[in-house]
Amino acid sequence: MEYFKLQYNGNSYQYVEATDLKMCILSHFLSSDVRCYNKSFREWAVADKEDPQSKFTYSFGSNATLLEEENGYVFLMDRTSREVGPECLKMTTQQFVQLLDDWETKVCKVKPKEVLIKHEHGQFVIETKD
Query: The domain containing residue 9 runs over which residues?
Result: 2-129
| CB crowding 24-54: b at 16 or more within 10 Å, else e | bbbbbbbbbbbeeeeeebbebbebeeeeeee
CB neighbours of residue 81 within 10 Å: 14
Tens digit of each residue's pLDDT (9 = 90 or more) over 29-83? 999 999 998 889 999 999 998 898 888 888 988 878 999 999 999 999 987 765 5
Structural domains in the chain (count): 1
pLDDT band of 21, cuts 50, 70, 90 = very high
Residue 77 φ/ψ, nearest 5 degrees: -140, 160
Instruction: Give residue-wise pLDDT tens across range 69-117.
Output: 999 999 999 877 655 566 799 999 999 999 999 999 999 999 999 999 9
Whole-structure pTM over 0.75, yes or no? Answer: yes
